[in-house]
Amino acid sequence: MKEFIQEVPVLSNNQFTVDRLLQDYLTTQIPGEVYHAIKPDLERFGQRVMGDILRMGEDADAYPPVHIPFDAFGHRIDEIRVSKGWEEMARVSAEEGLVAIGYERKYGPYSRLYQMAKNYLFAPSSAYYSCPLAMTDGAAKLIENFGSEELKISAFTHLISRNPDHFWASGQWMTERTGGSDVGTSETRARKDGDAWRLYGVKWFTSAVTSPMAMTLARIENDKGEVVQGSKGLSLFLIKLRDDSGKYNNLEIIRLKDKLGTRALPTAELRLEGSRALLVGEIGRGVKTIATLFNVTRIHNALSAVASSRRLLNWALDYASKREAFGKTLKDHPLHMQTLSELEIEFQGAFHLFFYTVRLLGLNEAGIAEERKQAAPLLRIYTPLAKLYTAKQNLKITSEVIESFGGVGYLENSGLSKWLRDGQTLAIWEGTTNVLSLDVLRSMQKENTFPPFLKDISLRLLGLKNPELQLCGKKIMGEIDSLQKFASQTMSEGDDFMQAQARHFSYSLARVAMAALMLEFADRPDHDTEKYRISAKRMASKKLVSLLWADPLWREENNKIVFS
Ligand code: MFK
């Protein structure tokens, strides 16, 4: 009797040419001559991420970094040994312009779409080298906006270099023992030493610690050693890890973190013992200034989430067309197909949410004055929305894809379990779901982002031409009404009330935006839209808005539910 052995599912050897949505999206959002110019590079890169880059990523995952604190003679050396694959990825990132493209701005406002499309192909093959790239991109943007002329030469040029020997990745050391969310309680001190600043303190989570530089926060002491408490006392510093002779800049690696996932990425605890640092931006404006950086990394976070979902779905689709059970392939089982199509629709929504945020970033940086003005408040609210929603959604998709492989999906050597471990970080680093939901409120309260958000969506819905899609648009307009009413009512109930429902509210905004963007995309006459029309209609027919119309007793009730 012939034994049953399953066929191994495979991924296409070109992640660009196989990605119809990505190609259609870029075709419709980028002028023809620009797309014509960048397409060959994307096509080539789509293949490369399944070739040598994938092997680098596999090597990096197989050989996680190791910390060697002392040499044989007892000298403190704090060597971090990383895999060959990880080292090579730094060089490839520079050569491929994965940060540079965003700053060369060769294609004006479309440069960010090009850059992020490339990173979207890269991230799932990179064993999270996407993390240092995200931080490098954020640091570049920060220095471009706030750095002195001297810093633009001594650091910025490295961050955006295409020359692997000149390229620097940057770290972002925000987290201390007092908290990753409550950054305002950070304890690190900055003391003046002649013209320089010296930092003293412990940084608790420092990702990509082998990067040559990092951006970090510290509290400046006055002559009497006193400091201003809270986030208003924090200033931003650039720190180089090593001096010109290659020695550490008065810092010690306490240990590498033993993390659930992203194990290829060297994340350390550090002690700063008088590390020389350069002040960036105004004294006491550290949190506000570093927000420029983390608003970029949050967009990269959404990128990693959406790109991972795509890669995993590609796997699940191939498996569904090969694996037989109950006498037919999985794709011929109605319930399996229903599950996969729901995941695909969710994925498409997240794809649009992410890439729309990227378009806004591009317009905000390189658009004409009017475009910049319009994009600014939208970018401010779409950034936390895209980050918080896609991270959670990726976890759901990852879990479903693993389940769709049955028992094999639960095996370590199927290669699937790592995605669940790695994906969990996307909902934590760069701000948890709750912190980001509160940031959505912050953007509404401080920067009045809600009216432009609603107006932008309404205009997109009102512009629909296809009668079926118009009907869907009408339904969403009704939901926008309820969002508006809810916001004005709850804002007047006070902060506590608004905060308690911030997550439901943010999810509702994200889902309404996803549906509107999908409808608009499906309505375009310039590409074959049947697949997108069906998906958009299905998305629009879902319950998009889910709000807590709580009464004033809600807080007491929550206490009873949780603690009594
Ligand atoms: C694959 C992708 C990977 C990405 C790489 C990840 C590697 C991991 C690296 C890490 O470092 S992970 C840790 C990241 N940490 C965070 O994301 C911090 C999470 N916590 C928050 O975001 C808190 O909300 C926050 C620290 C901002 C709260 O600080 P405060 O000081 O209590 O809040 P406050 O007073 O509201 O804000 C201070 C100022 O910043 C205000 O401006 P003003 O002083 O002018 O009033 C705010 O408006 C401004 N601000 C806060 N968030 C902002 C912002 N401005 C613009 N955009 C924002 N998002």
Rounded distance between C-alpha atoms, residue 427 and residue 440, angstroms? 15
Binding site membership of 429 for ligand 1 (Cβ less than 6 Å):
yes
Q: Does residue 297 have its Cβ closer than 6 Å to ligand 1?
A: yes
d(CA 358, CA 383) in angstroms, rounded, equals 9
- At 403 the pLDDT is 97
Q: What is the pLDDT of residue 229?
A: 96
**Does ligand 1 come within 6 angstroms of the Cβ of 100?**
no
Span from the CA of 151 to the centroid of ligand 1 (angstroms):
23
Check pocket membership of 431 for ligand 1, CB cut-off 6 A: yes
Between the CA of 336 and the centroid of ligand 1 the distance, in Å, is 41
Query: What's the rounded Cα separation, in Å, for the pair 515 and 508?
Result: 11
> Is the CB of residue 12 below 6 angstroms from any atom belonging to ligand 1?
no
Query: How wide is the angle at C-alpha 316 spanned by C-alphas 313 and 322, nearest 5°?
Result: 145
Q: Residue 359 in contact with residue 113, Cβ under 8 Å? A: yes
Percent share of the chain, pLDDT over 70: 99
135 lines ligand 1 (CB under 6 A): yes
CA distance 258 to 262: 10
* Residue 184 in contact with ligand 1 by CB distance below 6 A: yes
pLDDT, position 394: 98
Beta-carbon contacts of residue 85 (< 8 Å; ≥ 6 apart): 55, 56, 57, 58, 59, 60, 63, 127, 264
CA separation for the pair 255, 270 (Å, rounded)? 8
CB 236 within 8 A of CB 215: yes
- Whose Cα sits closest to atom 40 in ligand 1? 288
Indicate if ligand 1 lies below 6 Å from the C-beta of 288: yes
Structure tokens at 447: 């920067």
Residue 42's pLDDT band (boundaries 50, 70, 90)? very high
What are the residue ranges of CATH 2.40.110.20 in the chain? 170-285
Question: Dihedral sign, CA of 180, 183, 185, 188?
Answer: positive
Q: What is the DSSP string of 471-520?
A: HHHHHHHHHHHHHHHHHHHHHHH-HHHHHHTHHHHHHHHHHHHHHHHHHH
CATH 3.30.360.10 fits 170-285, yes or no: no
H helices present in 30-66, as ranges: 32-48, 52-62
- Please state, in angstroms and rounded to a whole number, the distance separating the CA atoms of residues 99 and 69: 32
Measure the CA angle with vertex 266, ends 261 and 267; round to 5°.
Answer: 80
Q: What is the band of 497 on the pLDDT scale with cuts at 50, 70, 90?
A: confident
Query: Helix, strand, coil shares of the chain as percentages rounded to 5?
Result: 60, 15, 25
**Cα–Cα distance between 11 and 319 in angstroms, integer?**
10
d(CA 207, CA 216): 12
Whether 74 has a pLDDT exceeding 70, the answer reads yes
Q: Would you state the structure tokens that stand for residue 277, as one six-digit string?
A: 């640092």
Give this prediction's pTM. Answer: 0.97
Which amino acid residue places its CA nearest to atom 31 of ligand 1? 231
Q: Is the CB of 300 under 6 A from ligand 1?
A: yes
361-374: per-residue pLDDT in tens? 999 999 899 999 99
Say how many residues make up the chain: 564
Supply the pLDDT for residue 444: 95
> Tokens 């920067």 appear where?
447
Q: pLDDT (tens digit, 9 = 90+) per residue, 135-181? A: 999 999 999 999 999 999 999 999 999 999 999 999 999 999 998 99
Average pLDDT in the chain: 95
CA 455 to chain centre: 26
Bridge partner residues of 278 (DSSP):
238
Q: Is 67 helix (H, G, I), strand (E, B) or coil?
A: strand
Pocket-testing residue among 231, 388, 424, 446, ligand 1, by greatest number of atoms within 8 A of Cβ: 231
Atom number of ligand 1 nearest to Cα 300: 2
Measuring CA to CA, how many Å separate 248 from each of 158, 213, 237, 270, 397? Answer: 19, 11, 17, 12, 42
Q: Which pLDDT tens digit goes with each residue over 513-558?
A: 999 999 999 999 876 789 999 999 999 999 999 987 666 677 788 8
Ligand 1 pocket check for 430: Cβ under 6 Å? yes
Q: Which tens digit of pLDDT belongs to each residue from 375-426?
A: 999 999 999 999 999 999 999 999 999 999 999 999 999 999 999 999 999 9
**Integer CA distances (angstroms), 15 to 115, 399, 476, in order:** 16, 22, 33
Percent of the chain with pLDDT over 90: 90
Q: Select from 183, 309, 387, 434 the residue to mutate for testing ligand 1; criterion: most ligand atoms less than 8 Å from CB.
A: 183
CA distances from 25 to 22, 418, 517 (A): 5, 29, 11
What is the average pLDDT across 467-488?
Answer: 94
Report the pLDDT averaged over residues 488-492: 78
Name residue 269's beta-bridge partners. 255
Q: Where residue 499 falls among pLDDT bands split at 50, 70, 90?
A: confident
SS (H, E, C) 113-167: HHHHHHHHHHHHHCCCCHHHHHHHHHHHHHHHHHCCHHHHHHHHHHHCCCCCCCC
Atom 47 (ligand 1) nearest CA: 288
- Which of 226, 218, 230 shows the shortest CA–CA distance to 274? 218
- Whether residue 1 is predicted with pLDDT greater than 90 in this model: the reply is no
Nearest-atom number in ligand 1 for the CA of 294 is 17
Band (pLDDT 50/70/90 cuts) for residue 437 is very high
Residue 224 Cα to ligand 1 midpoint, Å, equals: 29
Is 69 strand, coil or helix?
strand
pLDDT at 491: 74
> Is residue 512 within 8 Å of residue 483, measured between CB atoms?
yes
Ligand 1 centre from 404 Cα, in Å? Answer: 37
- pLDDT score recorded for residue 255: 97
The C-alpha atoms of residue 35 and residue 252 are separated, in whole angstroms, by: 47
Q: Compute how many other C-beta atoms are within 10 angstroms of the C-beta atom of residue 537.
A: 19
Place of tokens 């049947």: 530
Q: What is the per-residue pLDDT for 549? A: 67
Q: Radius of gyration of the chain from Cα atoms?
A: 24
Atom of ligand 1 nearest to the CA of 429: 12
Q: Whose CA is nearest to atom 23 of ligand 1?
A: 181
For residue 17, name the pLDDT band (cuts at 50, 70, 90).
very high
For ligand 1, is residue 356 a contact (CB within 6 Å)?
Answer: no
In this structure, are residues 506 and 385 in contact, taking their beta carbons and an 8 Å threshold?
yes
Contacts of residue 317, defined as CB under 8 A and 6 or more positions apart, other chains included, come to 340
Query: Considering only CA atoms, which residue is closest to atom 35 of ligand 1?
Result: 231
- pLDDT digit string (tens) for 195-209? 889 999 999 999 999
